[in-house]
Amino acid sequence: MKQKEFDWTYFKRRIYINNCSKEELFRKWATPKGITEWFIEEADYKYGDNTKRKPDEIVRAGDKYWWKFHRGSVVEGTVLEVKENSLFKFTFGKKDVDSDEEVIVTVTINEKNGRCFFDILQENMSESKYGKVNYYISCNMGWMFHMNNLKSICETGNDLRIQDGDRMHVDAPSRYPLDKYKWTEFKQVEYIKALKDKVFQKWTTSKDITEWFIAEATYSYDDMIRKPDEKIKAGDKYSWTFFQGFTMKGKILKIDENEFLAFTFGKKDAELDEDIIVELSFSTDGEKSKIELIQKNMADNEYGHVNHNMSCMVGWCYFLTNLRSLLESGYDLREKDIKLAKETQSYSLDNLD
């Protein structure tokens, strides 16, 4: 059987959104006003002799766009194709530092069984470290956050974007110098408008952790199973089952009440018995609680790059965003239908089923 090969040059994401029509979703993408309601801070589109599109005007192929993000960074590009209520396609930066080729993003909007969904296909990315880090990983994380922010706004009216301070909504690796990027370790930081003990609590019982992270959780010690509301302790073994259908097993390494948690998180390599480690530190930052997540001891090879560095970084981005949503608005963003949950996973395998 042919070995599946990972393709760093493209990825595709899907999200289902309730309480929103195809027309509404399309306008969230294809008007200057719509796209600032969930994605960027400012948006300008110009056409012809530099005529500026009105805020509620649907943009057209050939328009030049200027997008400003909340931290001040700017992206400029061209709208390539627009189909009413179904498609929005645009350039999204240069393929590589020394390339004139453009990265392309195609958004397709659909409806199935009474629910609207859209796909984001980002392609023509470089397989260099620049392309992998700045586009595949960083953009994947960014789209993950912003797609779920659109879902949150449509379904609850809650905007998850950070409106103050010099920090990103997502702690994407493109924020850091490329030569400092490590494949063996990464850090993510999340700020939540909730008391630190409430944030910590959501990690420490099977009942709490299933409210935002996994579908089922079991913690055991000395052949005994902890009760749903019983707090975990160092040395406990865990079994976590995700809505996508797979199960992960590991061990709680250390726990300091309201301050620190560490656990194993899979094997370093398919052929090694070394564990990947996740460490969580909890602190207070003004009116917010701060979580610093460090995942380390990942293999510096293609297996580690794909299965742990990229996949886990994107995954933690999603779940930390969901934890914030749950604590700040009471809303769980997860897709709990197993089939649909699998559909919403990012992929770029050459022979994906």
Q: Are 309 and 188 in contact (CB under 8 A)?
A: no
**Does 3 score more than 60 pLDDT?**
no
Where exactly does CATH 3.30.530.20 map onto the chain? Answer: 10-126, 174-343
Which sign does the torsion angle of CA 147, 150, 154, 159 carry? Answer: positive
Mean pLDDT of the 188-193 span:
92
Position 340 confidence tier, pLDDT thresholds 50, 70, 90:
confident
**Does 2 score more than 70 pLDDT?**
no
Q: Which residues pair with 43 in a beta bridge?
A: 67
The CATH superfamily label for domain 10-126 reads START domain (3.30.530.20)
Give Cα 252 to chain centroid, integer Å. 25
Position 272 confidence tier, pLDDT thresholds 50, 70, 90:
confident
Determine the pLDDT at residue 83. 98
Window from 163-172, 173-182, 258-267 with minimum mean pLDDT: 163-172
**Does 353 score more than 50 pLDDT?**
no
The three-state secondary structure class of 73 is coil
Residue found under tokens 């189909």: 83
Concatenated DSSP letters of 100-120: -PEEEEEEEEEEETTEEEEEE
> What digits encode the pLDDT tens for the residues 202-212?
999 999 999 99
Global pTM value: 0.92
Bridge-based pairing of strands 275-285 and 185-192 is unpaired
Give Cα 80 to chain centroid, integer Å. 25
Determine the pLDDT at residue 351. 33
Kindly state the tokens that stand for 147.
Answer: 């797609």
Q: Which CATH architecture has domain 174-343?
A: 2-Layer Sandwich (3.30)
Mean pLDDT of the 34-57 span:
96
Instruction: Share the mean pLDDT of the chain.
Output: 92
Kindly state the tokens that stand for 120.
Answer: 């984001």
Measured CA to CA, the distance from residue 293 to residue 352 in angstroms comes to: 31
Q: Are 321 and 192 in contact (CB under 8 A)?
A: no
Q: Are 267 and 274 in contact (CB under 8 A)?
A: yes
Kindly state the tokens that stand for 198.
Answer: 């409430």
Measured CA to CA, the distance from residue 210 to residue 52 in angstroms comes to: 48
